[in-house]
A = this chain, B = another copy of it.
């Protein structure tokens, strides 16, 4: 049977998703060690895509192949009994026929969070980056319109990206702003058909720069020329969460709670 898992993790103490040779703590390594405990044989766990060190996931999708009499829906509980508190399986199901967890993904949504404060806030800094001062969310929304659609995002990729093409479609960028207890939190939600290496963190950095007053003309220029040098800041990993992977149909019956 091929099983799919809906997985959430707090990325703070993981060296990213992908298993590493040196025995660092990774999401894949932890899932595979747990699968081996459950099924008694070495088990490969693949995912919709990698996430970097420190990046969180609310809804990563993983797949594994197993021979077991445990009903697919119950795999969740088997995993959760053995997994650490910062990595849990929210749902499990049998994978559809001919399902490829990486290539079948149609859309992904990432959320980037940052708060405005003149000093680090202990209760915010685990899941959000810090901006030195408030920014103009309206300006950011205008700039976001320039980035939506199909573009060559070469300028928005860290060097060392191995992708064959840097053309991606960004379906929507939403910007939310919420002030509570005297502090403002910004959330940038980006939905696209795929993302280049560091693309969301670079894009978030540019949107925050626009929010702080930078003129937007450089964005058009960056998309046209592909020149990374026009762009400044890659935001820290802690603010980034893989929110949702959309396969075009529901993979899990999530319990209504």
Number of interface residues of A (CB under 8 A): 38
Q: Contacts A59-B181, A122-B88, A181-B59; is A116 near B257 (CB within 8 Å)?
A: yes
Considering the chains assembled together, what is the distance between the CA atoms of A86 and B123 in angstroms?
Answer: 8
Q: Are B254 and A120 in contact (CB under 8 A)?
A: no
Considering the chains assembled together, what is the distance between the CA atoms of A10 and B122 in angstroms?
Answer: 6
Chain A contacts with B in 58-102, Cβ cutoff 8 A: 58-59, 76-77, 80, 85-90
Q: Are B243 and A184 in contact (CB under 8 A)?
A: no
The residue in chain B whose Cβ has the minimal distance to the Cβ of A126 is B126
CB neighbours of A121 from chain B (8 A): 8, 88, 90
Min CB–CB distance A55 → chain B (angstroms): 12
Instruction: Judge if A162 is at the interface, Cβ distance under 8 Å.
Output: no
Chain A interface (Cβ < 8 Å from any Cβ of B):
8-10, 56, 58-59, 76-77, 80, 85-90, 116-123, 125-127, 133-134, 181-184, 241, 243-244, 254-255, 257
